[in-house]
Structure formats: C-alpha cells, structure tokens
Structure 1
C-alpha cells in the first residue's frame, strides 16, 4: 500500500530543489535560487507571472531588496507526485508586518522547479 501523497510531511523530506530554493531565497542568494529552477520556469507572485531565469532573477533581486523580513517554515505537504505546498510565515517591515504564505511548487522531470505560485 502506497503512502498518502496528501499527508503533511517533515520539511526535511522536501525534494532537494525545493529545500535549496527556500534556503537560497531566505539568504537572498539569487544565483543559488535560480539554480533550483528549470530554464523555462514560471513564478507567480502577487498576481504577476515571471518566466525564465532573466525575469525571475529580476523579481528575486527586487523582492529581496524591497523589505527586510524573517521567515519561519510552518509546514510542508506533498499534494501529488510532483507538487508540494510549503507554508512559511514572514515577519518584517512590509505592510501588515506578518503574513503566512503558501509556496506551491511543481517539479519537472529533472527534479528542478518548473512552476512556483506564491499566495496568501
């Protein structure tokens, strides 16, 4: 009998690309974050989609410099074979000062992130 893919998972069990992205994003290391993404990846944040390394790199650089914040990993859930949802709490000097964000990752065949949707 297979494991239930919708169960909550220990964040330590996240695929390498996802854990690498989260560490790089928290460290504001754009190059390391891009290394976890497929060349034609798409990232959607605040209703806008960024495609490919050039656009995503600009978004990462802008998002990293706009506010100062800390992150706390609240949990991770595998939703199917290639999709994971990670919930992080951000606290900082942005409007509202505290938010829980859902990072919805889709991995491709090479284990890299093909799609990331960030939502409240």
Structure 2
C-alpha cells in the first residue's frame, strides 16, 4: 500500500494524542491541548502558521472567542504511521456558516509536531 493513499479509519481509532488534543481544543482548554504538542510544534490555520507554545496558545485563545459554532468529528484517516486526518463539520456564525475542515496531524515521538487545518 502506498504511503500517499490515506486509509479511512474509525474516529475512535485515531491516536490518543490526536483525540486528546481535539477534545481539549473543543473545550477551549489551551493548557491541556498544548500538552499534546511538541515544544516546537506548528499549527497552520487560515493560512497563518503559529510555531511554539506561546504562539499556539495565543492562536487558541483568539480563535476560541472569535465565533460561536458547533463542531462534529465526521471522519478519520490514517495516512501513515505518523500522519492522520480528522475531518470536522462546523456550523456557526462565521463567514459562510458551514464548513468541513480537515485537521491534518503529523506526529513525532508520540506528540503532535504539525497540525494543518484546511477545507
């Protein structure tokens, strides 16, 4: 099997570090969410990359209060041993009101090294 072809998995089959981060992120618990990230991790959202705990915490704090929305985990994929995709359906008061976002995780030594959030 090619490592470029993601394989659909049950959302509960995502690694604990991914599900823990997502749960903390949804709860707006930045301290817990950061515990699942490497110190030099990067998060890219809305075309902006945030690197390191202080920048990621600032991004989480800003985005948690920006809009009101519901979020539902609707799918998951395993790309390879260190890369996973969690697909979320969001509805809320943000521009457009409805979007499906792909949270693309790259792990390193059991922690999240890189997260890209994109449609």
TM class by smaller structure = over 0.9
Aligned match of 2:116:
117
TM-score after normalising by structure 1: 0.93
Q: Which runs of 5+ in 1 are unaligned?
A: none
Provide the rounded CA distance (Å) in 2 between the counterparts of 1:23 and 1:91: 17
Provide the rounded CA distance (Å) in 2 between the counterparts of 1:65 and 1:36: 22
Question: CA offset at residue 6 of structure 1?
Answer: 2.8
Deviations 1:81-108 (A, max 9, x none): 1000110011111111110000000000
Provide the rounded CA distance (Å) in 2 between the counterparts of 1:52 and 1:16: 21
- 1:71-90 maps to which residues of 2 (within 5 A)? 71-90=71-90
TM-score after normalising by structure 2: 0.94
Question: CA offset at residue 79 of structure 1?
Answer: 0.4
Provide the rounded CA distance (Å) in 2 between the counterparts of 1:97 and 1:54: 29
Aligned match of 1:99:
99
Q: Which runs of 5+ in 2 are unaligned?
A: none
